[in-house]
């Protein structure tokens, strides 16, 4: 028996919106501590990882660990039948569920849907706990804007960190450009830019993955970029009171 | 020129 009730159903919709461009079919894992999801994009260059803690739900019960294989596209079709202010409850009865039930509740209506599940034997990757040598926290819409703008100039974006801050740069056929984001300790937390740089990094990424993921910026006003040289970058959106949505992206390397 | 490795190169299958 599994039941998880989102107080703010709109949050669940934003999470699905953020990952739908990157992953097609996912295994949703539920256990006593909460819900998690880990899936690679079709090219296996990026890895999406969601973690939602049971304490963040209005109601949460999961007697036995469950794996529910679902198509993100079909999940979206069901969620499109809900309002952004609805409370959303996920529920299954059996131990080996073949469907996942959804209840959408608002002041004046209640809806019930069932999504057919599928069995997906997806490889799960072990992401080692890593001490990243550069960790940058910045406004999420700023990061989104930079990736979108520089992505117009070149398909690869460089990220260089230093004690002064973080620099995004592109060198394309049409020319080149760079954007340096300065550290600021403004009292408005959503506008703060913080850099912890033990070791500076200089990495290059395919910017299309950033732009496919940038709807996740609706989840949090700040984004955390964790980097180590020649390691995948981690883009993390903290989901207030619930957990986090992360994108791990393999860097491009000069052969 | 640059290569784009997959994420599997960095993280092992569990």
Of A20-29, A70-79, A119-128, A198-207, the range with the lowest mean pLDDT is A119-128
Nearest one of A199, A206, A212, A40 to A130, comparing CA atoms: A199
Q: What is the ipTM of this complex?
A: 0.96
* pLDDT, averaged across chain A: 96
Round to whole Å and give the CA distance between A253 and A203: 8
The tens digit of pLDDT for each residue in A178-194 reads 999 999 888 898 999 99
How many cross-chain Cβ pairs, A to B, lie less than 8 Å apart?
57
Q: Which residues of A touch B1 (CB under 8 A)?
A: 254-255
Paired sense of beta strands A2-6 and A194-197, if any: unpaired
Cβ atoms within 10 Å of B8's Cβ, excluding its own: 15
> Mean of the pLDDT values across residues A58-84?
96
- Cβ atoms of A184 and A134 closer than 8 Å: no
* Residues contacting residue A225 through CB under 8 Å, at least 6 positions apart: A134, A135, A136, A137, A138, A143, A159, A166, A233, A234, A235, A236
* pLDDT tens column, B1-14: 789 999 999 999 98
Q: Is the pLDDT of residue A254 over 90?
A: no
How would residue A115 be classed by pLDDT, with cut points 50, 70 and 90? very high
Terminal CA-to-CA distance of chain A, rounded, Å?
A: 51
Strand order, beta sheet including A59-62 = A59-62, A2-6, A87-92, A99-105, A110-116
Residues 6+ apart with CB under 8 A from A80: none
Chosen for mutation from A121, A122, A125 (greatest number of chain B CBs closer than 10 Å) is A125
Tell me the nearest-neighbour CA distance from B11 into chain A, angstroms. 6
3-class DSSP assignment, residue A67 = strand
Take residue A176 and report the two structure tokens written for it: 């080149």
Q: What pLDDT, in 10s, does the model give residues A74-112?
A: 999 999 999 999 999 999 988 889 999 999 999 999 999
CB A141 within 8 A of CB A219: no
Is A249's CB within 8 Å of B14's CB? no
Q: What is the pLDDT of residue B14?
A: 83
Q: Cα(first)–Cα(last) distance of chain B, in Å?
A: 32
pLDDT band of A255, cuts 50, 70, 90: confident
pLDDT at residue A198, rounded to an integer: 97
CA dist A232 to A39, A130, A215, Å? 15, 11, 20
Taking residues A222-247, what's their average pLDDT? 97
Residue carrying structure tokens 């992206």: A249
Task: For residue A127, list chain B residues with Cβ-Cβ distance below 8 A.
Answer: 11
Q: Where is A143: in which H helix or E strand?
A: helix A140-151
Residue of B nearest to A247 (CA): B7
Predicted pLDDT of residue A153: 96
């Amino acid at each position: 028996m599994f039941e998880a009730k989102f107080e703010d159903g709109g949050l669940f919709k934003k999470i699905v919106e953020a990952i739908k461009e990157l992953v097609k079919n996912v295994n949703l894992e539920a256990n006593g501590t909460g819900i998690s999801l880990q899936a690679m994009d079709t090219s296996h260059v990026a890895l999406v990882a969601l973690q939602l803690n049971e304490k963040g739900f209005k109601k949460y019960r999961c007697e036995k660990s469950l794996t529910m294989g679902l198509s993100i596209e079909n999940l979206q079709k069901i969620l499109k039948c809900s309002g952004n202010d609805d409370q959303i409850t996920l529920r299954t009865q059996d131990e080996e569920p073949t469907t996942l039930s959804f209840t959408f509740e608002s002041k004046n209506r209640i809806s019930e849907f069932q999504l057919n599940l599928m069995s997906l034997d997806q490889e799960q990757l072990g992401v080692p706990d890593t001490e990243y040598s550069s960790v940058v926290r910045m406004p999420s819409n700023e990061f989104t804007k930079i990736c979108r703008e520089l992505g117009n100039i070149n398909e690869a974006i460089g990220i260089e960190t230093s004690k002064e801050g973080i620099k995004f740069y592109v060198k394309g056929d049409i020319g080149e450009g760079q954007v340096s984001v300065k550290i600021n300790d403004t009292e408005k937390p959503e506008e703060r830019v913080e850099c912890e740089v033990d070791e500076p990094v200089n990495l290059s990424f395919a910017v299309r993955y950033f732009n496919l993921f940038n709807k996740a910026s609706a989840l949090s006003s700040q984004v955390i970029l964790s980097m180590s040289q020649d390691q995948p970058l981690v883009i993390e959106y903290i989901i207030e009171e619930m957990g986090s949505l992360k994108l791990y992206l393999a860097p491009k390397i000069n052969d | 020129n640059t290569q784009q490795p997959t994420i599997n190169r960095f993280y092992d299958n569990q």
